[in-house]
Amino acid sequence: MDFLQVVGDRRTIRWFKTWEQVPIEKIQRILEATRLSTCPGNLQPWRAVVVFRDELDEATREELLAVDNWQGGHTQAPVWIYWYADPGVARPENFAARTVELVEVGALPRAYGWNADTIKAAIEEAVETPEGMASIQELIHGLPEEISVVVAMQETVGACGLAVLAAVNEGLGTALNMIARPSKHERVKEILGVPARCAPVWCQLVGYPAESPKAGGQRPRDPFGELFFKGTWGTPFPRDDSVVDDLRAEGLLQDSAPGPSRFEELKSLARMYGYPEG
């Protein structure tokens, strides 16, 4: 699919076809795309445990659903991807190793001052980096462990954004759910065999949408000019109507929710799955 169409078509899907299995190849394609997500220092702190609902024994399946409060989409989706951030790989020594690796593969330019000696001196001894190179001595030297957790989580969240788009590109519906209520995070780690050091990020539900893939239209968004500024905070970035028209033609900008007959669709889905029609 065209990139803009994928972004425009993306919705959080909350009703899945329980009866349509997701080919494992499609899950691999999502993971392959996610593996190439952008990441500072090439740390790659994202980890995922893919759970196929129908491979679980009844007790485990029920427990994983119960800790997510039996959310409708979770009970219906045939594939659950549990995303975790590994702060262990966002520690200074790993940052040093990965950035040296980036120099060696020709990604970080030596011309800007990047080399094994400057990287190690900056990270290990807080030596000022040469002009042209990032000031990693202030960012990475003595990095507190709790900041490693933050770094690992923010990079994993970014990777999840790509995973969501990759799923849409495969013609699938997807949603990012909480992994569990906070008090149950450790239990889920135990069930999935996730190391204690890892931080929970999202449970990505994947399946074929039972609702219309457009799910009633694009969700409300704040005005462009209130989100994006030019030069200084508060100065709206100009929004050119002709660009907006082009993006509408290219599939990025679509009709806003709720579209016609959306509420009838929701009633019908509720009936189909045995929920109150609301």
Of the candidate residues 32, 36, 66, 181, the single one contacting another protein (CB under 8 A): 66
The footprint of another protein on residues 150-209 (CB under 8 A) is 170-171
Residue with Cβ nearer another protein (76 or 129): 76
Q: Which one, 54 or 226, has the nearer CB to another protein?
A: 54
CB of 49 or CB of 127, closer to another protein: 49
Q: How far is the CB of 275 from another protein (least distance, A)?
A: 8
Segment near another protein (CB under 8 A); pick from 52-60, 121-129, 175-183, 222-230: 52-60
Q: Does 14 bind another protein (CB under 8 A)?
A: no
Contact stretch for another protein (CB under 8 A) within 20-28, 178-186, 196-204, 240-248: 20-28
Q: Which is nearer to another protein, 43 or 210 (CB)?
A: 210
Sole binder of another protein in the list 182, 249, 275, 277 (CB under 8 A): 275
Q: Is 5 an interacting residue with respect to another protein (CB under 8 A)?
A: no
**Number of residues located near another protein, criterion CB under 8 A:** 28
22: Cβ–Cβ under 8 A, 6 or more apart, which residues? 78, 79, 172, 206, 207, 208
Q: Is 270 in the site for another protein (CB under 8 A)?
A: no
Tell me if 277 contacts another protein by CB under 8 A. Answer: no
* Residue in 5, 37, 42, 75 binding another protein, rule: CB under 8 A: 75
Q: Write out the DSSP string of the chain.
A: --HHHHHHH--B---B-TTSPPPHHHHHHHHHHHHT---GGG---EEEEEEEGGGS-HHHHHHHHHTTTT-HHHHH-SEEEEEEE-GGGGSHHHHHHHHHHHHHTTSS-GGGT--HHHHHHHHHH-PPPPTTS--HHHHTTT--HHHHHHHHHHHHHHHHHHHHHHHHHTT-EEEEE-SS-GGGHHHHHHHHT--TTPEEEEEEEEE-BSS-TTTTSBPP---HHHH-BSSSTTSBPP--HHHHHHHHHTTSS-PBSSPTTHHHHHHHHHHHHT----
Question: Judged by CB under 8 A, does residue 238 bind another protein?
Answer: no
Using the rule CB under 8 A, is 2 a contact of another protein?
A: no
Binding site for another protein (CB under 8 A): 17-21, 23, 25-26, 52-55, 58, 61-62, 65-66, 70, 75-76, 78, 170-171, 210, 272-275
